[in-house]
Amino acid sequence: MKLDTHLRRKTLGWVSSSKGLLRHKAAASSWFPEDDDDIGPYVEGSGVNDYVWAHVKSIQRCVEKVMRCYGGDVSCLLDVCRQCIIFDSVSDLTKCLRAILQDPDVVVERIKNNLDPTADSVRSGGYRHVALNLRIASEETRREDTDWHICELQMVLRSFYLLRSERGHARYISFRNIMGE
């Protein structure tokens, strides 16, 4: 998907303007971290292909989510393209958020702050992050007619990110299926 490439490039820029972290391919063994050795700072000069990126949401999951959550309304599906940036502190996350909000090629449609202590973390099994729904509205995305698509960027503290595991994600999927989401 063309837009995924634009989101990856933008993500690298936001990471480099803050103290954000990405998983580098040279150290990463799987999507879920066993420890924090495979998470490292942005390395100047590293290219888009040097990192482990989230995949575009599968067609099966898109259909499932549209039918279960949105009553068949495909226009509600906002996170087909998505990425994640990891932070060591809330201040680093905030610095990156400011960079995103000041990016002239980005339109932030929604910010969902699940770090807020009043946010219901029961549905996520205690996992917390800040999720941005955004559009990349650059000259290039306008030419490609992809500037209307809403992407998701998850901003997560390293302490929460390290709680992720393959078994934990499998439990989350089971929970999501039971809840019909």
At 67 the three-state DSSP class reads helix
Distance (Å, rounded) from C-alpha 98 to C-alpha 96?
5
What is the per-residue pLDDT for 61?
Answer: 85
As given in the structure block, the two tokens for residue 38 are: 């495979």
From first to last of its 181 residues, what are the pLDDT tens digits of the chain?
Answer: 789 999 999 999 999 888 898 877 665 554 444 445 555 555 555 677 778 788 888 889 889 888 988 889 988 887 889 999 999 999 999 999 999 999 999 999 999 998 888 887 766 666 789 999 999 999 999 999 999 999 999 999 988 887 765 555 566 566 556 656 6
Rounded to the nearest 5°, which phi and psi values hold at 130?
-105, 125
What is the per-residue pLDDT for 34?
Answer: 47
What is the per-residue pLDDT for 32?
Answer: 46
What is the per-residue pLDDT for 79?
Answer: 80
> Is the separation of the CB atoms in 121 and 114 below 8 Å?
yes
What is the per-residue pLDDT for 31?
Answer: 44
What is the per-residue pLDDT for 120?
Answer: 77
> Is the separation of the CB atoms in 45 and 24 below 8 Å?
no
What is the per-residue pLDDT for 98?
Answer: 96
Distance (Å, rounded) from C-alpha 59 to C-alpha 31?
20
The bridge status of strand 39-41 relative to strand 21-23 is antiparallel
40-68 pLDDT, tens digit per residue, is 555 555 677 778 788 888 889 889 888 98
What is the per-residue pLDDT for 58?
Answer: 86
Distances (CA, A) of 119 to 45, 92, 155: 38, 21, 15
Could you give the domains of the chain?
2-179 (3.30.460)
What is the per-residue pLDDT for 39?
Answer: 58
Distance (Å, rounded) from C-alpha 145 to C-alpha 27?
36
Neighbours of 19 (CB within 10 A): 16
At 6 the three-state DSSP class reads helix
Helix (H) or strand (E) holding 131: strand 130-136
pTM over 0.85: no
As given in the structure block, the two tokens for residue 31 are: 């999507």
